[in-house]
Amino acid sequence: MNIRAHKGLTFDDVLLVPKRSPIASRRDVDTSAAVTNTIRLATPILSANMDTVTEWEMAVAMARAGGMGVLHRFMSVEQQVRQVNKVKRAQGLMVDNPYTVAENASIAEADRLMEQHDVGGLIVVNGDKKLVGLITRRDILLAPDDVLTVAQAMTRADHIVSVGPSVTSAEARALLYQHRLEKLPVVDRDGKVVGLITSRDVVRVEERSQASVDGKGRLRVGAAIGVGSGEMARAEALLEAGADLLVLDIAHGHAEHCIDMVKSLRRAFADAQIVAGNVATADGARELAEAGADAIKVGIGPGSICTTRIVTGFGVPQLTAIMDSASGLAAAGIDIPIIADGGIKTSGDLVKALAAGAHIVMIGSLFAGCEEAPGSPVIRDGQKVKVVRGMASLGAAMGRRAAERDGQGIDESAEDQEDWDKVVPEGVEAVVPYRGHVAEIVYQLVGGLRSGLSYGGAHSIEELQRNAEFIEITAAGVRESGSHDVRRL
């Protein structure tokens, strides 16, 4: 038995000491951070992989706000893949079903279609849907009287620049500029038309510069997986569908079966971005990193709906858990991001988590009341509320069993049951106030972060971490920190 030399601290135990600041405006700071060393987010926030927090609607809203949603895993592989697809289709560089016209149609018909769809040009296809040309309003306007069909008036395919489906926004921009084009048809290997990229799409993708997008301009999304027997297949299907981040989500991540799973994932999917957790110690963080994780998720029991610490007696107060995990990685010379998961109640907590060494935070309950979270609001005592539940709560476990009975094919293998889904609950069900759109909450959190960076004399999160000086406070300090001795309106 031993007792740690240092105290375990959490967000409310400390404040950050203000620093001399070169920041004149909150606009002069950069709130971006790496979620892995290859994915950077403008907004350092993930929505939690909980079934009352993140399904595709939340993931779309989070990515548009510059963060990322992590789809929960308590659904079948097919359902989770469908959710990834919905996020990926919500916005992209390429129009999926572009308007086409047959090569043997009349130019009058092409003109009518352009009018109907309010577009300046159409892709011309043959009977096999293969690209044969492009026709624009100008081609029709300038056509001599003896030009009657689309085939006669169009620019033929051999004079057109087309691209494959994997083209990136930068490549498309370069081609559009180089050839002074308006439109780039996208064709598959057989020459069949699968999409269209216009110069407007490229600019729109770039304009939404804060949105989290992949190389194809599609919104980014993460997806949770477990350690059960079917989970390698789940991982493969999710990656195939375009998931940007796999989040191996185990209640006690510093466990041999979790370390082994990270190794297997790393071996099978060399380029996949893998987040592993949860841990709360230097050794836990280091071992998952050494197994091949690209980021470490930290938090044992800080969550608002968590009762792990009460039920098991285990846990580390979250601020200390973040600091210990960060110093564990630093001591081993490992430079990968830390994601602080759970317990964020305010933007002040977010700033403290980042200053303590996290790069990104994951938020559950604070987002569960949002419009985009699964489930509808209900009225409780005259107030509009939504339900949030711990993934190890009794209700969540019962819900999973019911889904299993309904044939939704959730993997309930022995290892999986040893995860969140315990017979002895380690989480609760609760209601939270309805909070409207998540973008508004993210805006408030990021606003607080911007102010926090200026108090910390920091242009960036990395600089905040370097400058950070925490001061431990007393109960009187905690009382003084909130509004006090006034009656709130």
Does the protein bind ligand XMP through residue 419 (CB under 6 A)?
Answer: no
As to burial, measured by CB atoms within 10 angstroms (0-12 exposed, 13-18 middle, 19+ buried), residue 40 is middle
Stretch that binds ligand XMP, among 81-89, 190-198, 341-349, 431-439 (CB under 6 A): 341-349
Decide whether 362 or 403 has the Cβ nearer to ligand XMP: 362
Strand partners, 360: 339
Q: Which of 294, 248, 239, 300 is nearest to 268 (CA)?
A: 239
Length of the chain: 489
Please give the torsion angle defined by the CA atoms of residues 346, 347, 350 and 352, in that order, rounded to the nearest 10 degrees.
Answer: -90
The least CB distance from residue 329 to ligand XMP, in Å, is 19
The least CB distance from residue 109 to ligand XMP, in Å, is 55
Distances, alpha carbon 283 to alpha carbons 67, 192, 254, in Å: 28, 53, 8
Separation between Cα atoms, residue 100 and residue 456, nearest integer Å: 56
The least CB distance from residue 320 to ligand XMP, in Å, is 16
Decide whether 48 or 291 has the Cβ nearer to ligand XMP: 48
Stretch that binds ligand XMP, among 15-23, 91-99, 304-312, 397-405 (CB under 6 A): 304-312
> Amino acid identity of 200?
R
Which are the catalytic amino acids?
306
User: Which tokens is 274 given?
Assistant: 């893998």
Stretch that binds ligand XMP, among 14-22, 116-124, 359-367, 473-481 (CB under 6 A): 359-367
Residue from 202, 353, 362, 468 in contact with ligand XMP (CB under 6 A): 362
Does the protein bind ligand XMP through residue 140 (CB under 6 A)?
Answer: no
Does the protein bind ligand XMP through residue 391 (CB under 6 A)?
Answer: yes
**Using CB atoms, what's the residue nearest to ligand XMP?**
427
**Torsion sign, CA atoms 140, 141, 147, 152:** negative
Residue from 363, 370, 403, 468 in contact with ligand XMP (CB under 6 A): 363
Does the protein bind ligand XMP through residue 393 (CB under 6 A)?
Answer: yes
As to burial, measured by CB atoms within 10 angstroms (0-12 exposed, 13-18 middle, 19+ buried), residue 225 is buried
Does the protein bind ligand XMP through residue 44 (CB under 6 A)?
Answer: no
Distances, alpha carbon 380 to alpha carbons 271, 366, 430, 431, in Å: 47, 18, 12, 9
Decide whether 277 or 357 has the Cβ nearer to ligand XMP: 277
Does the protein bind ligand XMP through residue 308 (CB under 6 A)?
Answer: yes
Residue from 305, 356, 385, 442 in contact with ligand XMP (CB under 6 A): 305
User: Residues touching ligand XMP: how many (CB under 6 A)?
Assistant: 26
Separation between Cα atoms, residue 322 and residue 324, nearest integer Å: 6
Does the protein bind ligand XMP through residue 441 (CB under 6 A)?
Answer: no
Separation between Cα atoms, residue 160 and residue 142, nearest integer Å: 19
Residues numbered 238 to 297 that lie near ligand XMP (CB under 6 A) are: 278
Decide whether 214 or 372 has the Cβ nearer to ligand XMP: 372
Residue from 253, 337, 427, 456 in contact with ligand XMP (CB under 6 A): 427
User: For binding to ligand XMP (CB under 6 A), which residues are involved?
Assistant: 48, 50, 278, 299, 301, 303-306, 308, 341-344, 362-366, 390-393, 420, 426-427
